[in-house]
Amino acid sequence: MSCDVTAMTDEGPTAKSDSAGSPGWANARSAWDLDPDRAHLNHGSFGAVPRLVRAAQARWRDLSDANPMNYYREVRIPAVQHARERAAAFLGAAPDSLGLVGNATAGVSTVLASFPLRPDDEVVLTDHSYGAVTLAAHRWARSAGARVVTAQIDLLASDEEVTSAVLGAITSRTRLLIIDHITSQTARLFPVAAVAAAARERGVATLVDGAHVPGMLPVQVEALGADFWVGNFHKWAFAPRGVAGLWIARPWRDRIRPLVASWNEAYEFPAAFDQQGTADDTAWLAVPDALDFFAAWDPERLRDHNNALAAYGQQVVGGALGVGPREAGGAAELSMRIIPLPAGVASDEEGARALSVRIAQDLRIEVAVTCWRGRGFVRVSAQAYNAAEEYERLATGLAQILG
């Protein structure tokens, strides 16, 4: 098989690639230090940090170790502020509207810890919510005497059906709605702007889990109409692991506090988040380098390439398993797609992990295997360093494994 997608067969960035060191599609993998003996088709879980960005983070670590006193006294805070401002601009947000946190789930817990829940209040989320986010919602609701309500959304639900299902779960006791921008287990794109607008009409605040959004989707977070939004920079925006942006609408900014009280406690958001003791925040400081690397690829062209490659991966793997495109679903804007597995395969967390391990060991391919509502899925991601033949190899090998 071959992948007939023009965006994946041209030479990629030329003039820009010289300035940032990013090569064209044919040799894109040379910008990463990924294990050359494996196909890496799971960019969505942990990202993959380019060599140039890793070097930038290392320089910040070297600077801190060369003179710790000067680093923490003079260097660190201005550098964090600069990184935060670059991250905000990347998301179309004002500099004072975005704080940096360790990851999206940390951002969710940060909001929940400060949100004014009372006994018998309700937090609504969906059955597509990321596992750690669901756990966080239950923890903070339980501590306040509130409860969590789960909206059931079918795998192939339309935007209108998603909105209707969420609104159907909201009652007069609902205070907060948590909804994914892009779901992790099922690779769905949800209509968060429409949902947030409808929730606001009902007096309900909306927290959007945008873990996969920065870099995958062009986004203007302030235009979404949510109250809170959080997204990882260490997935599709090429930053080192451990950095996410937490956006907060103005009415809430004086109420949301860091999970850990530290030396900037007296400041308001986002400055209160800029200094958390001696935490290694060099991942934050490398964000400008990551965004420069991202820009060098021509973002629109990179997204088109990744989206087309993910769609091809879904097509070829689904074809090998006898799964048609209507059964698989997926949005053209996404660089992640899922392929349903036969009934009984990877139908729980243990089974999903076991199949992922077997694929890694037998096929030397790293890919996400998820389960949702008792059904297993293979989730393929696409990034500049991937090639069509890697998905073809997965298709052939997975069909043999499942026999």
Asked if residue 174 is part of any domain, the answer here is: yes
Same domain, 202 and 146: yes
Cα 313 from Cα 400, distance rounded (Å): 17
Using one digit for the tens of pLDDT, what is the confidence trace for 326-369? 888 999 999 999 999 999 999 999 999 999 999 999 999 999 99
Residue 61 has pLDDT above 60, yes or no: yes
What's the pLDDT at 256?
96
| The token pair that represents 195 in the structure block | 């949902």
**Exposure of 45 in the CB half-sphere (CA atoms within 13 A):** 13
What is the total count of domains within the chain? 2
Same domain, 251 and 385: no
Taking every pair of Cα atoms in the chain, the longest distance, rounded to a whole number of angstroms, is 62
Asked if residue 51 is part of any domain, the answer here is: no
Q: How confident is the model at residue 176 (pLDDT cuts 50, 70, 90)?
A: very high
Same domain, 282 and 342: no
Same domain, 219 and 284: yes
Asked if residue 98 is part of any domain, the answer here is: yes
Mean pLDDT of 72-89: 96
Q: What crossing angle do the helices spanning 287-296 and 76-90 adopt, rounded to 10°?
A: 30
Q: Is the peptide bond before 270 cis (omega within 30 degrees of 0)?
A: yes
What's the pLDDT at 165?
98
Residue 3 has pLDDT above 50, yes or no: no
Asked if residue 141 is part of any domain, the answer here is: yes
Asked if residue 41 is part of any domain, the answer here is: no
Asked if residue 359 is part of any domain, the answer here is: yes
Same domain, 211 and 193: yes
CB 29 within 8 A of CB 382: no
Parent domain of 339? 6-31+297-402
pTM summary value: 0.93
Using one digit for the tens of pLDDT, what is the confidence trace for 99-139? 999 999 999 999 999 999 999 999 999 999 999 999 999 99
Same domain, 211 and 66: yes
Asked if residue 306 is part of any domain, the answer here is: yes
